Amino acid sequence: MMPDAQLVEDLGSEDRRLQRSACDAVREKIGTEPEWKRVLQDLLGSPNPIARFSAAWVLAHAGHDDLRLLPALLDSLELEDGDLRWSATHLLVTLGHRHPEVYPVLLQVTAEAGSSAMRRRMALYALRELAPDRVETAAAFRAALDDASDEVRRAALVSFGKLLEPGKQGVARAIEIARADRDERLRRIAVAVLPDLAQREVGLRDAIATLLEALSRDPDASLAQAARMAASRLLHGDGRCE
């Protein structure tokens, strides 16, 4: 039996309703119509990025999550649709738990200056979920704090408190950013994560407390407010920055 041509077309549709419906339909069919596996594997090399994502999504959810999905999922980190980007990120994490080869690839993506900022940023989120305990992950996040893209820097810093071992150098860099940085939004993020980082590097707790107290009087009202909230969290030891 030849697969439904309309379903194949809908897998690459920019209409989310059609694309999602097609994915669900093919996911059900692949168990009883094995020819769909070949069709989906061919779609992994499609020039249509949404079709590549859909093929990877269906194959992964049908239990065919081998490394052939990796290129399509990495490309999907750059999709315009945020929901699809996040879905690809979660699939990469799942794939990484099954295949250790995924981890070094994600590390490489975060360091590729020639890749898009969006791809680097989403790769950081994948690393945060895949291996928050590894020193290589912490090193990648520290390096990302000096990325050319402020969006990548923000992604790295907002996730920093979730790493199990951010390292003294990383915490010190976050303190520097909170004190002064070209990106005022990044400064506020740094202030917000400092209480979490103080729990990782207790030797820097006093330096963090002193800085937050000074920043609570900053002329920038939003930064001052963020500093007062962070100082309260540091003092009482409650709340986590998500």
For residue 106, pLDDT beyond 60: yes
What local confidence, expressed as pLDDT, does residue 2 receive? 59
CA 42 to centroid of chain Cα atoms: 27
Confidence of residue 1 (pLDDT cuts 50, 70, 90): low
Task: Please state the pTM of the whole predicted model.
Answer: 0.90
What local confidence, expressed as pLDDT, does residue 165 receive? 84
Query: How many percent of the chain have pLDDT more than 90?
Result: 86
Tens digits of residue pLDDT in 39-87: 999 999 999 999 999 999 999 999 998 999 999 999 999 999 999 999 9
3-11 long-range contacts (CB < 8 A, ≥24 apart) are 3/29, 3/33, 3/35, 3/36, 3/39, 8/39, 8/43, 11/43, 11/50, 11/51, 11/54, 11/55, 11/58
Vertex 55, ends 51 and 57: CA angle to 5°? 115
Phi-psi map region of 167: left, alpha, beta (phi>0 left; psi -120 to 50 alpha): left
What local confidence, expressed as pLDDT, does residue 31 receive? 84
Q: 86: helix, coil or strand?
A: helix
CB atoms within 10 A of CB 133: 9
Confidence of residue 240 (pLDDT cuts 50, 70, 90): very low
Contact 123/158 with Cβ under 8 angstroms? Answer: no
What's the CA gap between 214 and 230, in Å, rounded? 12
Of 112, 118, 152, 141, give the one whose Cα is nearest residue 49: 118
Contact 163/138 with Cβ under 8 angstroms? Answer: yes
Half-sphere exposure at residue 177, Cβ-oriented, CA atoms within 13 angstroms: 29
For residue 173, pLDDT beyond 90: yes
Q: 7: helix, coil or strand?
A: helix
What local confidence, expressed as pLDDT, does residue 241 receive? 41
Tens digits of residue pLDDT in 113-140: 889 999 999 999 999 999 999 999 999 9
